[in-house]
Chain A
Amino acid sequence: MADALLRLHDVSLAFKGITALNRLSFDVERGEICALIGPNGAGKSSLLNVINGVYRANTGDIVFDGVRFERIHPLKAADLGIGRTFQHNALFGRLTVIENVLAGLARHGRANFLENIFRLGRDRAERRSFTTRAHRIIAFLELDPHIETVVSTLPYGLQKRVDLARALVADPKLLLLDEPMAGMNQDEKAEMSHFVSDVNEKLGTTVVLIEHDVGIVMDLADHVVVLDYGRKVGDGTPDEVRNNPDVIAAYLGTVH
């Protein structure tokens, strides 16, 4: 039997009567890279938002790492080990790279605010271990030349990588990447895609990502789910999906 880390069952979502997700079910295996593809407005970002609790699903339930829930608070999702990057820049713009990454460790902080402010008790060890972890991830993603740079002054491609670092530093079991390569040129895309596969292989993180570039998706992903108007129209290995007539009709045929 397959070992699913994430299991979606019958998930629907509507805004003011407009259906964004329509009775969606699929599994994400532990350790795989799963790509969500589909035209704009297919509901891909909404799906990520449901998984980590930014939106509440109207029906259905989700099982993550053995925990079943119908709705979840974003904080709880973070605590369970769901990390996330964002389609539009959602970095802490006026903080430096290291501060952004350190902020990503929030859920691991146990010291209370008095310990934090006066550098007492648990804060001492936490400061040290947080700094080490942050530096480790920053080096892993080759961001160390920019470590003290204010992120809003970084080029777009690097900002995307800081976003990845911020999500990755907390050791998530599942990493949700919302268009990590959007707006990049081919070289930048290749670089980012290399980092994503490195994260998956070397750190063992399960990845769900949204990407429009079908060529990259087919290379990178172990598993592809195709959405169209909130419905699932394809689900399988890249090869299976490529040859699925419904998928070709709904997506591949119309766009490229």
Chain B
Amino acid sequence: MNFFLETLVSGLSAGVMYSLVAIGFVLIYKASGVFNFAQGSMLLFASLTFVTLVEKGAPFGVALGTTALVMILGAILIERLVLRPLVNRDALTLFMATLGLSFVIEGLAQLLMGSDVHMLDLGIDDLPVSVGGLMISQFDLFASGAALALVAVLSIVFNKTRMGISLRAVADDTLAAQSIGIRLPAIWRIVWSVAGIVALAAGLIWGARQGVQYSLSLVTLKALPVLIIGGFSSIAGAIVGGLLVGATESLADIYIGPLVQGSVSTWFAYILAVVFLLVRPAGLFGDRAIERV
């Protein structure tokens, strides 16, 4: 029983990571209807920039601030050079553009900062502590706490500030929002910046766990099933979806894996997502659109 619970908890903590990545997707999807494949590359770029700065001797705070600035600058460039020329194009074209963007960002990241694996030490040991009889990694607790804090900040920003209200207006009805004077490019710049900073946070936590390396960008691929399960437009959905995917994936690996001679974690989340699609097409928290003819 304890083994089951510990597997579950470690799965859930992986799920927290998935949620962090998925939140970046949700932000961009809500504001611009773009499924941003480059979110993973942004994560790689942010963590690589940070770790390079630290290795060059920059203090933690300076490195963090500089990286955040770099991500904001990147968002402005992306809005100007990629999004604005592609406004009003179909979702698939925008997706392909972010795929092209991910090539550029990954190429730049490795060209400028090399493709070595960097160790990233956030000062929290990956040691298990006992919580109510279960052994849980201290680092997982920290990561979950950081994720929760980030979500809390984001929900305050999006529910209480003027900017957040504009964002929700854009997500709800782009044309109506524009007609009352909300400027789309500004909203996009802000949202991509926030997504960049979320990528930085997720990149630091993932990077500290796995080392900062190219494979970090592949985490994007886990976000799609998370979003389908949670619903594309809901931050709560991204969190619940992430936890669900993390938990079921690690349970499936332990309990189904041996039956089929190997890890099933590359595809299990997708099959789960497809089952969800068939049963609940809008996801757990998504709205189902009424068809108008």
Binding site for B on A (CB under 8 A): 15, 45, 49, 54, 86-88, 90, 178
Contact, CB under 8 Å: A54 / B290 = no
Q: Report B-chain residues with C-beta under 8 Å of the C-beta of A15.
A: 290
Bound complex: CA of A86 vs CA of B293, how far in Å?
Answer: 6
11 residue pairs bridging A and B, Cβ less than 8 Å apart: A15-B290, A45-B293, A49-B293, A54-B291, A54-B293, A86-B293, A87-B293, A88-B292, A88-B293, A90-B293, A178-B293
With A49-B293, A88-B292 known, 4 other A-B pairs at CB within 8 A are A15-B290, A86-B293, A87-B293, A90-B293
Q: Report B-chain residues with C-beta under 8 Å of the C-beta of A87.
A: 293
Binding site for A on B (CB under 8 A): 290-293
Q: Report B-chain residues with C-beta under 8 Å of the C-beta of A49.
A: 293
Bound complex: CA of A88 vs CA of B293, how far in Å?
Answer: 7
Q: Report B-chain residues with C-beta under 8 Å of the C-beta of A45.
A: 293
Q: Report B-chain residues with C-beta under 8 Å of the C-beta of A90.
A: 293
Q: Report A-chain residues with C-beta under 8 Å of the C-beta of B293.
A: 45, 49, 54, 86-88, 90, 178
Bound complex: CA of A45 vs CA of B290, how far in Å?
Answer: 14
Q: Report A-chain residues with C-beta under 8 Å of the C-beta of B292.
A: 88
Bound complex: CA of A87 vs CA of B290, how far in Å?
Answer: 16
Smallest distance from the beta carbon of B220 to chain A beta carbons, Å? Answer: 32
Q: Report B-chain residues with C-beta under 8 Å of the C-beta of A54.
A: 291, 293
Residue of B nearest to A54 (CB): B293
Q: Report B-chain residues with C-beta under 8 Å of the C-beta of A88.
A: 292-293
Q: Report A-chain residues with C-beta under 8 Å of the C-beta of B291.
A: 54
Residue of A nearest to B293 (CB): A86
Smallest distance from the beta carbon of A88 to chain B beta carbons, Å? Answer: 7
- Count chain A CB atoms within 10 A of each CB in B290, B291, B292, B293 and give the residue with the most: B293
Residue of A nearest to B290 (CB): A15
Bound complex: CA of A198 vs CA of B291, how far in Å?
Answer: 32
Q: Report B-chain residues with C-beta under 8 Å of the C-beta of A178.
A: 293
Bound complex: CA of A90 vs CA of B292, how far in Å?
Answer: 11
Bound complex: CA of A54 vs CA of B291, how far in Å?
Answer: 9
Bound complex: CA of A30 vs CA of B293, how far in Å?
Answer: 26
Bound complex: CA of A86 vs CA of B292, how far in Å?
Answer: 10
Bound complex: CA of A238 vs CA of B291, how far in Å?
Answer: 33
The 4 A-B residue pairs whose C-beta atoms are closest, nearest first, are: A86-B293, A54-B293, A15-B290, A90-B293
Residue of A nearest to B291 (CB): A54
Residue of B nearest to A88 (CB): B293
Smallest distance from the beta carbon of A121 to chain B beta carbons, Å? Answer: 35
Smallest distance from the beta carbon of A152 to chain B beta carbons, Å? Answer: 15
Residue of B nearest to A16 (CB): B290
Residue of B nearest to A84 (CB): B293
Smallest distance from the beta carbon of A214 to chain B beta carbons, Å? Answer: 24
Bound complex: CA of A178 vs CA of B293, how far in Å?
Answer: 9
Bound complex: CA of A218 vs CA of B291, how far in Å?
Answer: 31
Q: Report B-chain residues with C-beta under 8 Å of the C-beta of A86.
A: 293
Bound complex: CA of A49 vs CA of B292, how far in Å?
Answer: 9
Residue of A nearest to B292 (CB): A88
Bound complex: CA of A45 vs CA of B293, how far in Å?
Answer: 8
Bound complex: CA of A15 vs CA of B291, how far in Å?
Answer: 11
Bound complex: CA of A23 vs CA of B270, how far in Å?
Answer: 45
Residue of B nearest to A52 (CB): B293
Bound complex: CA of A51 vs CA of B227, how far in Å?
Answer: 36
Bound complex: CA of A49 vs CA of B290, how far in Å?
Answer: 12
Smallest distance from the beta carbon of B282 to chain A beta carbons, Å? Answer: 14
Smallest distance from the beta carbon of B287 to chain A beta carbons, Å? Answer: 10
Bound complex: CA of A168 vs CA of B293, how far in Å?
Answer: 18
Smallest distance from the beta carbon of A61 to chain B beta carbons, Å? Answer: 22
Bound complex: CA of A204 vs CA of B292, how far in Å?
Answer: 30
Residue of B nearest to A86 (CB): B293
Smallest distance from the beta carbon of A56 to chain B beta carbons, Å? Answer: 12
Residue of B nearest to A90 (CB): B293
Residue of B nearest to A48 (CB): B293
Bound complex: CA of A88 vs CA of B290, how far in Å?
Answer: 15
Smallest distance from the beta carbon of B88 to chain A beta carbons, Å? Answer: 16
Bound complex: CA of A66 vs CA of B293, how far in Å?
Answer: 27
Q: Report A-chain residues with C-beta under 8 Å of the C-beta of B290.
A: 15
Bound complex: CA of A72 vs CA of B292, how far in Å?
Answer: 17
Smallest distance from the beta carbon of B76 to chain A beta carbons, Å? Answer: 36
Bound complex: CA of A88 vs CA of B291, how far in Å?
Answer: 13
Bound complex: CA of A90 vs CA of B291, how far in Å?
Answer: 13
Bound complex: CA of A228 vs CA of B225, how far in Å?
Answer: 45
Bound complex: CA of A45 vs CA of B292, how far in Å?
Answer: 9
Smallest distance from the beta carbon of B172 to chain A beta carbons, Å? Answer: 16
